[in-house]
């Protein structure tokens, strides 16, 4: 089994110095001008509506296994949508995917032949229409029904449009939904009401208790806030906040990270001059904690084993004031290139990129040569469901056991590269203790020369009382701060 950025497939390690390139190209996102579809005969068709764009994405996610976040970004780049319609399409895609169990549960009472027998586009159309009726107060129900009927007329025939109209109008007459039968277990009710697979709810209920499991599921269905990390080698957080407020943005200091700011309703911050000129990076608040726990100091030698897309490497470089060296490794060469671009945009010259299997780093690099090592390990990703709702439907319980074995192998492999007295940080963006505390406990049992020091960190002092002490590390859950679920353990190699 192999590991690099966040996946498998082995190759030899290649390193290259980071040569700063043009400062920051704009990520492809948001409105960029229209690619109009053509009718037969060459006549341009009317631009697709937000609902049609969302419908096409939902069908491809279900039928082709496309990743919603990637497909949404590429589709919106080509669609000629206003800012408001871009926001609506985004809401419809993520909201419909997030609430799919609830939507299907309700629709199953009104679709006589069953949801499974519908054409995929009809099934997705009913879902996104019901999502608007049940969850979007700003969209009038009659407008959602009328648009669904119009779409079904354009894409299907009169029988389909009649069925869509009948189902949705029956829903409107039914009153408050869903109506749950008596006799369901607590976990079954949570699964239906908060639209999470039953196995996931049962797992979290056993791990954290049913109340916390329900809070996690509810939090996963809330839209994520936009958070940015301030590049303190260029500007202080206070000065950056003042600039954002002066520009009319709703911004505030993060309660989680001293490097973070939270912005609401600010659009895509990666398209701003602040991003382009290296003053800030878009990063989740929980993710910002990892570099702080590593606590690298100026002049240190640091290894980031699975570094893409490079946010944590860059944050460590900022904390080191760009003094010292960071080797940022990822399995894939093109992802290592993205890390180099990030470093260049932020003006960080201390970062060198490498491309190779993280399992081979122990053999490729000099033993006991690093002051700090970060292993942000490949994981199930169940802490980021809020941002990637289709993860709920892709993952299975057996995936967790499989990745946990890889995580322990990785931790064991890179640990020999740490100097005596050095610090190794293990982190994941998941809530599963099989991948978190149990991996770290197994490692410490095999390696008496290491000791956990997670709870002596400044991060624990700040978050104690909210974050959980999970074994030898700290666990943030999605409902704690409205950020991603993250696990972080700090291990010290004894002298």
Q: What is the C-alpha to C-alpha distance for residues 453 and 461, in angstroms, rounded to an integer?
A: 12
CA distance linking residue 256 with residue 495, whole number of Å: 32
> Which residues on adjacent β-strands are paired with residue 469?
474
Q: Which of 217, 305, 379, 429 is catalytic?
A: 429
Annotated binding site: 306-312, 330, 357, 376
Closest CA to 195 of 239, 130, 274, 289: 130
Q: Is 379 a catalytic residue?
A: no
Ramachandran category for residue 471: left, alpha or beta (phi over 0 → left; psi -120 to 50 → alpha): left
Instruction: Give the pairing type, strands 370-376 and 301-304.
Output: parallel
Q: List, in sequence order, every beta strand (DSSP E) within 164-308.
A: 226-230, 250-253, 260-264, 280-282, 301-304
Spatial separation of the C-alpha atoms in residues 415 and 368, rounded to whole Å: 9
Residues making up the annotated binding site for S-adenosyl-L-methionine are 306-312, 330, 357, 376
Report the C-alpha gap between 96 and 118 in whole angstroms: 17
Check: CB of residue 309 under 8 Å from CB of residue 331. no
Beta 418-428 vs 486-493: how paired, if at all? antiparallel
> Positive or negative CA dihedral for 212, 217, 223, 226?
positive
**115 alpha-carbon distance from chain centroid:** 29
- Kindly write down the DSSP assignment for every residue of 356-374, as one continuous string: S-GGGHHHHS-TT-EEEEE
Q: Where are the alpha helices (DSSP H) in 375-487?
A: 391-394, 397-415, 437-446, 458-463, 478-481
Q: Helix (H) and strand (E) counts for the chain?
A: 21, 14
* Residues marked as catalytic: 429
């Amino acid at each position: 089994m192999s590991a690099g950025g966040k996946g498998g497939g082995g190759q030899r390690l290649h390193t290259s110095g980071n040569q700063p390139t043009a400062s920051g190209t704009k990520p492809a996102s948001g409105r960029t001008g229209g690619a109009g579809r053509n009718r037969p005969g060459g006549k341009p068709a009317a631009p697709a509506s937000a609902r049609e764009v969302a419908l096409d994405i939902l069908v491809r996610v279900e039928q082709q296994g496309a990743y919603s976040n990637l497909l949404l970004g590429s589709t919106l780049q080509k669609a000629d949508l206003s800012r408001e319609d871009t926001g609506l399409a985004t809401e419809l895609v993520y909201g419909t995917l997030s609430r799919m169990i609830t939507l299907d549960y309700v629709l199953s009472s009104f679709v006589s032949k069953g949801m499974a027998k519908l054409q995929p586009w009809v099934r997705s159309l009913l879902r996104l229409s019901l999502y608007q009726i049940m969850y979007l107060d700003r969209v009038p129900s009659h407008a959602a029904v009328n648009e669904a009927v119009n779409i079904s007329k354009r894409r299907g025939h009169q029988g389909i449009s009649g069925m869509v109209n009948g189902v949705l109008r029956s829903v409107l007459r039914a009153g408050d939904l869903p109506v749950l039968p008596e006799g369901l277990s607590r976990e079954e009710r949570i699964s239906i009401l908060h639209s999470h697979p039953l196995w996931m709810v049962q797992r979290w209920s056993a791990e954290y208790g049913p109340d916390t499991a329900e809070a996690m599921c509810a939090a996963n269905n809330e839209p994520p806030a936009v958070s940015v990390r301030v590049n303190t080698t260029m500007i202080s957080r206070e000065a950056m906040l003042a600039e954002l407020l002066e520009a009319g943005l709703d911004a505030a200091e993060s309660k989680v990270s001293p490097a973070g700011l939270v912005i609401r309703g600010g659009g895509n911050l990666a398209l701003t001059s602040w991003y382009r000129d290296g003053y800030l990076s878009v990063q989740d608040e929980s993710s910002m904690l990892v570099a702080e726990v590593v606590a690298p100091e100026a002049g240190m030698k640091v290894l980031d084993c699975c570094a893409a897309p490079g946010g944590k490497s860059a944050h460590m470089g900022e904390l080191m004031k760009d003094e010292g060296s960071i080797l940022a490794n990822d399995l894939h060469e093109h992802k290592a290139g993205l890390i180099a671009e990030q470093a260049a945009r932020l003006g960080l010259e201390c970062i060198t990129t490498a491309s190779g299997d993280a399992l081979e780093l122990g053999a490729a690099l000099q033993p006991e040569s690093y002051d700090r090592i970060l292993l942000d390990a490949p994981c199930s990703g169940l802490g980021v469901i809020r941002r990637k709702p289709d993860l709920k439907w892709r993952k299975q319980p057996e995936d967790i056991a499989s990745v946990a074995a890889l995580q322990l192998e990785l931790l064991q492999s890179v640990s020999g590269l740490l100097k005596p007295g050095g610090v190794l940080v293990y982190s994941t963006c998941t809530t599963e203790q099989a991948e978190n505390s149990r991996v770290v406990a197994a490692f410490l049992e095999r390696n008496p020369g290491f000791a956990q020091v997670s709870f002596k960190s400044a991060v624990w002092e700040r978050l104690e009382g909210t974050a959980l002490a999970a074994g030898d590390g700290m666990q943030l859950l999605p409902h704690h701060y409205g950020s991603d679920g993250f696990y972080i353990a700090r291990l010290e190699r004894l002298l």
